[in-house]
């Protein structure tokens, strides 16, 4: 037994000795591991709207890299390379999309190490940039959209005057005067909407530069209102149709370029005016009177966004100015269904504009299908339209309140009215004028109760089928019945803010 124990002791001893010897052996060398090196000389590139090329230096310690672009307008000089240091040429085509665009280059080394480069391209400038930005200035601009809207008692349109193409008097009205605006204020209005043309007052079509004389004339009229402590809405109106009749992809780039150039100039010229001055980007933009397509809506709303961007880019008080954007064709139904509020760097400084001439057979139709009476109480005197009566007014205006006013966007009823059918006679004329006065009072009151700011459409025509309230030559009141009904409606209506 002792013999076996001795053998066991020797086995254990030699095992321990062998292990100890191995522990004293020099360490075996480990295989070397090289960290991956893969980088581009920049993680971003920026191109002008005209396009062009730029270069990236690509460095790697792998065997191969590959690159791809996610946008066809941004291309690269080679798809792959096995060089440890190589030049990659990046090319951007001309940007005629009308908006800033981006692309991403994705580079991959040996199918596993990834590097990305961000590409940005500005819009191609068709016209010079007129924004001439200055430091933002909040002086005199303390009220945002709702409290400012609440200050407007009742508005009036200087229609068929400054929006005439080529001449202020081209459509039969005399030039606007201080006397006229004084009369408007004395009658009870405290705001004036000035429809305005600009295209026919461009002195250089290649640069879209406006005539200084026209800017000065518009300023004169704005100042007539300012002297009466009135609020003013200045817009781009029909203007020959270049803006109003072209919400199509085919026209989008050219129209947005002109929209930008004109509004930059207008905004800079009036930049020092306080919050009494509001800008409205367009008027009744539409192709026809059919329902808009997705293309029509997309393009029309791009005109709104271009307007907001252009005004804000000029700085000064324009950084805080309350701006007005329009629904497609300023139609209430289209506003509810389609209008998206533009992005704005200012907070709570946007309003929405619609117009109201419903029912048309009463308000504007001069064909054999016209109707001279409105309101359920006037049906006893003759036919009224089968739609567009009191309940319709309420439902339309309540929809605007729910969809816009309650969400922080006051609505400007930029135009409304019904023609005066002076060719009627006797009791037919008497009943027509009474129902028309009732229409004015009712629409005005309901508008204000729903947070909608009313601006009566006056085209200066005091003859048959006209909207005129005043004699434009001397400012005297022409239609006291209609005027009284408007003032009464505005007095009875109280804004819900």
Active site residues: 284, 415
Work out the burial of residue 308: count CB atoms within 10 Å of its CB; fewer than 13 is exposed, 13-18 middle, 19 or more buried.
buried
CB atoms within 10 A of CB 27: 5
- d(C-alpha 329, C-alpha 283), whole Å: 7
Counted residue by residue, the chain has a size of 497
Strand 231-235 versus strand 65-69 pairing type: unpaired
Cα 248–Cα 251–Cα 256 angle in degrees, nearest 5: 105
Residue 373, preceding peptide bond in cis (omega within 30° of 0)? no
DSSP E strands, 5-96: 38-40, 44-47, 52-60, 65-69, 74-76, 80-81, 85-92
> What 8-state DSSP symbol labels residue 39?
E
CB atoms within 10 A of CB 463: 10
Nearest to 191 by CA among 327, 358, 322: 322
- d(C-alpha 38, C-alpha 58), whole Å: 7
475: left (phi over 0), alpha (psi -120 to 50) or beta: left
CB atoms within 10 A of CB 238: 19
Q: Specify which residues 413 forms β-bridges with.
A: 354, 454
Residue 461 three-state SS: coil
Q: Where are the alpha helices (DSSP H) in 155-245?
A: 178-187, 212-226
- d(C-alpha 196, C-alpha 237), whole Å: 5
Maximum Cα–Cα distance for the chain, whole Å? 148
């Amino acid at each position: 037994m002792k013999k076996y124990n001795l053998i066991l002791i020797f086995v254990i001893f030699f095992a321990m000795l062998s292990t100890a010897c191995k522990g004293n052996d020099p360490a075996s060398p480990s295989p070397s591991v090289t960290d991956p090196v893969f980088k581009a000389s920049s993680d971003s590139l920026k191109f002008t709207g005209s396009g062009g090329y730029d270069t990236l230096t690509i460095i790697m310690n792998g065997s191969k890299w590959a690159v791809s672009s996610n946008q066809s307008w941004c291309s690269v000089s080679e798809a792959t390379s096995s060089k440890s240091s190589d030049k990659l040429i990046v090319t951007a085509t001309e940007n005629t999309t009308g908006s800033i665009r981006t692309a991403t280059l994705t580079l991959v080394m040996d199918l596993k190490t990834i590097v990305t480069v961000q590409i940005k391209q500005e819009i191609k400038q068709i016209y010079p940039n007129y924004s001439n930005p200055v430091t933002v200035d909040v002086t005199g601009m303390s009220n945002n959209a709702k409290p400012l809207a609440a200050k407007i008692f009742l508005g009036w349109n200087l229609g068929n005057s400054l929006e005439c193409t080529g001449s202020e008097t081209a459509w039969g009205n005399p030039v606007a005067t201080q006397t006229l605006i004084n009369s408007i204020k004395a009658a009870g209005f405290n705001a004036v909407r000035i429809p305005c043309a600009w295209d026919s007052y461009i002195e250089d079509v290649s640069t879209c530069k406006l005539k200084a004389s026209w800017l000065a004339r518009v300023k004169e009229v704005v100042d007539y209102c300012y002297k009466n402590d009135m609020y003013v809405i200045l817009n781009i109106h029909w203007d020959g149709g270049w803006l109003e009749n072209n919400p199509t992809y085919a026209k989008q780039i050219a129209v947005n370029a002109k929209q930008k150039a004109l509004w930059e100039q207008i905004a800079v010229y009036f930049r020092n005016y306080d919050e009494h001055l509001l800008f409205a980007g367009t008027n009744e933009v539409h192709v026809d009177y059919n329902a808009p397509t997705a293309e029509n809506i997309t393009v029309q709303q791009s005109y709104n966004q271009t307007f907001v961007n252009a005004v804000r880019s000029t700085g000064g008080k324009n950084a805080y100015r309350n701006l007005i954007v329009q629904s497609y064709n300023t139609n209430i139904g289209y506003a509810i269904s389609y209008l998206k509020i533009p992005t704005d760097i200012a907070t709570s400084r946007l309003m929405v504009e619609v117009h109201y001439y419903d029912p048309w057979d009463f308000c504007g139709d001069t064909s054999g299908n016209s109707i001279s009476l409105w309101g359920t109480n006037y049906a006893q005197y003759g036919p009224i339209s089968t739609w567009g009566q009191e309940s319709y007014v309420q439902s339309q205006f309540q929809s605007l309140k729910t969809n816009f006013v309650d969400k922080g966007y006051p609505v400007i009823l930029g135009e409304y009215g019904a023609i005066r059918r002076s060719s009627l006679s006797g009791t037919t004329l008497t009943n027509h004028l009474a129902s028309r006065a009732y229409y004015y009072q009712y629409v005005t009151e309901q508008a204000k109760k729903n947070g909608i700011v009313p601006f009566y459409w006056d085209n200066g025509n005091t003859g048959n089928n006209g909207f005129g309230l005043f004699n434009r030559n001397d400012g005297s009141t022409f239609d006291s019945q209609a005027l009284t009904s408007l003032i009464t409606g505005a007095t009875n209506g109280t804004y819900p803010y």
